[in-house]
A and B are shown apart, each in its own frame.
Chain A
Amino acid sequence: MIAPVIQTNRLTRYFGNQAVAHDLNMSVPPGQVTALLGLNGAGKTTTIRIIIGLLHPTRGSCQVFGHDCRELTPDDRMRIGYMVEGHFLYARMKVSECAVFQRAGFSRWDDSRFDAIVRHFGITQSTRIGHLSRGQRAGVSLALVLAPDPEVLVLDDPALGLDPVSRRALNETLVEFAADGQRTVLLSSHLLDDVERVADRVMLMIDGRLQVDTTLDDFRGRVTGFVVDTAVTDTDRINAIPGLIEARRIGRHLHLAVADSDKETTAAVERLQATSVEPAELPFADSVLAWLSRSRSQRSFLSQHTAGKSARIRSFARS
């Protein structure tokens, strides 16, 4: 079994008496793109900041390259690229000056890669940061992060607020970076279409806990949608469907998302006295939406249940 590049063990972080990350056992495997998904406030940024060493855990541990995240050496840090939305850059600096400034901190630096990425975003290096568009600033940020040729790239919402062209340039750069399978990417993002393009694996955090940790294909394959034509509103009967992730009523129809659907599922769905039941392959984004709607803080109109009551919901973590 190949050692994970990033590993957390019962990672817990409190802010006040609120657990923002709770008992997280997270493994980011090498050579793949792992997407970290979750609602705002699910704990993704906190977890990432702990991984990078900007924040310490309250309990539990976190390792990158087998080293404790609280004690990453300068050599460790050079192997990690970290890009966060906001792109902290000095407005008066020219792009070329940013490179000179950044390069000094690294033993490895690829000028031609910096130039190529910056060019890809349509940037002239004599331009000052303050005169660049948001998308171009993201391009500079990415170039600065990738020029030292890191083994691991950690991105926290890198495409926030970017125009479509810059977003595409970002995705192109990411996909190229990951293409040889020798590098690892951890990407936290809300842009599910982009995640569908670039990710190998998905991890879903809900209310500080890891609820899904599997390959993208496996995640898609295990969630089934049903559109049920029924007047039944008995929430107990609906919530009794094994593996139910989400139920939404839209007019005459009940839209269900179910995990690991099997004969028992079909039987339970049929007990809803429907005039028609249509199974549906869900698009990736809809599967994610169904899962994320399970957050304590986002109750769907039908879910009177708590996580405990929902019969046999099987989380995909550790599979």
Chain B
Amino acid sequence: MRIQISTGSSTPIHRQIADQIRYAVGTGSLAVGDALPSVRGLAAELVLNANTVAKAYSALVRDGVLESQQGRGYFVAQQRAIFTRRERQRRLTKIMDPFLAEALTLGFDADQIQAELQKRLRKLVRPAKQGGTRDNH
């Protein structure tokens, strides 16, 4: 996967990195057990302060997306249920409510929004099934 960052964004750089890795893991383009570039390696490639990359990786480790193996680096972690069901629901609500508000304000109706959702879910869920490692671990 290619990580790209922009300066001058309202999103801090460490969050841009973390978001892109989350997306890659969520869509299956990074599979469980896949190695991530080293902190210094990615920092050199993106021309960034190494602490910025370290911060992104730490956040992902804290959220259970990555795991750090001493002396070997960072790997995509087996997704464990580290959030309670209530917390997961809260987080989902936090992203869904603004998204729905925006979509409705733009003039889309419920059917159109659902169609868009279905289109994307079909694309996202399929690669993970083909990868297959998640269930086999």
Contacts and interface: CB of A to CB of B under 8 A. Distances in A.
A193 B49 contact: no
A117 to B, nearest CB: 14
A92 B47 CA distance: 33
Contacts of B14: 217
A145 to B, nearest CB: 19
Given A178-B50, A181-B50, A198-B49, A281 B10 contact: yes
B49 A200 contact: yes
Contacts of A263: none
Interface in A184-213: 192-194, 196-200
Tier of interface size on chain A: 20 to 34
Interface in A159-180: 168, 171-172, 175-176, 178-179
A173 to B, nearest CB: 10
Given A193-B8, A281-B10, A283-B9, A200 B44 contact: no
Given A179-B40, A220-B12, A281-B10, A172 B49 contact: no
Contacts of B40: 179
Contacts of A199: 49
- Interface residues of chain A: helix, strand, loop or mixed (majority): helix
Contacts of B70: none
Interface in A220-255: 220
Contacts of B50: 175, 178-179, 181
A175 B7 contact: no
Interface string A94-115: 0000000000000000000000
B47 A33 contact: no
B94 to A, nearest CB: 16
A284 interface: yes
A284 B47 contact: no
B51 interface: yes
B7 A193 contact: yes
Nearest to A168: B47
A150 B51 CA distance: 21
A280 interface: yes
Most chain B beta-carbon neighbours within 10 Å: one of A178, A179, A193: A179
Contacts of A33: 49
B89 interface: no
A19 interface: no
Interface in B38-84: 40, 43-44, 47-52, 55
Contacts of A285: 7-8
B11 interface: yes
A302 interface: no
B13 interface: yes
Interface string B1-17: 00000011111111000
A282 interface: yes
A172 B44 contact: yes
Contacts of A32: 51
Contact of B7 (A172, A282, A284): A284
B47 A280 contact: no
Interface string B79-107: 00000000000000000000000000000
B108 to A, nearest CB: 22
B13 A196 contact: yes
Interface of B: 7-14, 40, 43-44, 47-52, 55
20 contacts: A32-B51, A171-B47, A175-B49, A178-B50, A179-B43, A179-B44, A192-B7, A192-B8, A193-B8, A194-B7, A196-B8, A198-B47, A198-B48, A199-B49, A200-B51, A217-B12, A217-B55, A281-B11, A283-B8, A285-B8
Chain A to chain B: the 4 pairs with minimum beta-carbon distance, closest first: A193-B7, A281-B10, A179-B50, A196-B7
